[in-house]
Chains A and B, each alone.
Chain A
Amino acid sequence: MNGEPVVLALASAAADADVLAVEVDGAMAVLLVRHPQSLSSRAVRERLLAVAKDAGIRNLAVELVDDDDAASRLPRD
Chain B
Amino acid sequence: MTAAVAETEISARALEKESRLLEWLARQPSVLVGFSGGVDSAYLACVAHEAVGADRVLAVIGRSASYPAEQWAAARAVAAKAGLHVLETDTHEMDDARYAANPSNRCYFCKTELWSVLGHIARERGIATIVDGTNADDLGDWRPGAQAAREHGVHSPLADAGLTKAEIRLLSERRGIPTWSQPSSPCLSSRLPYGTPVTVERLSQVERAERALRAMGITGDLRVRHHGEIARIELDPALLGEWLQPARLRAMRDAVLGAGFARVAVDLRGFRSGSLNVLAGVGTA
Contact = CB atoms under 8 A, between A and B. Distances in A.
Interface of A: 26-28, 30, 35-37, 39-42, 45, 48-49, 58-64, 66
Given A26-B279, A30-B230, A36-B249, A60 B268 contact: yes
Contacts of B240: 40, 42, 45
A61 B241 contact: no
Contacts of B263: 63
Interface string B272-285: 00010011000001
- Majority SS at the chain A contact face: mixed
Contacts of A60: 267-269
B20 to A, nearest CB: 38
A64 B263 CA distance: 9
Given A28-B227, A39-B268, A59 B275 contact: yes
Contacts of B230: 30, 63
A58 B249 contact: no
Contacts of A26: 279
Interface centre among A27, A35, A40, A48 (most CB of B within 10 A): A40
A76 to B, nearest CB: 16
B246 A59 contact: no
B253 interface: yes
Interface in B220-263: 227, 230, 232-233, 240-242, 244-246, 249-250, 253, 263
A63 to B, nearest CB: 4
Given A28-B227, A66-B250, 19 more contacts: A28-B279, A30-B230, A36-B249, A39-B244, A41-B241, A42-B240, A42-B241, A45-B269, A48-B268, A58-B275, A58-B285, A59-B269, A59-B279, A63-B253, A63-B263, A63-B264, A64-B246, A64-B250, A64-B264
Interface centre among A26, A27, A28 (most CB of B within 10 A): A28
A27 B279 contact: yes
A40 B268 contact: no
- Majority SS at the chain B contact face: mixed
B265 interface: yes
B266 A62 contact: yes
22 contacts: A26-B279, A28-B279, A40-B240, A41-B241, A42-B241, A45-B240, A48-B268, A49-B268, A58-B279, A58-B285, A59-B267, A60-B267, A61-B268, A62-B266, A63-B230, A63-B253, A63-B263, A63-B264, A63-B265, A63-B266, A64-B246, A64-B264
Nearest to B241: A40
A27 B281 CA distance: 10
Nearest to B252: A64
A64 B268 contact: no
Contacts of A30: 230, 265
B52 to A, nearest CB: 44
A21 B59 CA distance: 51
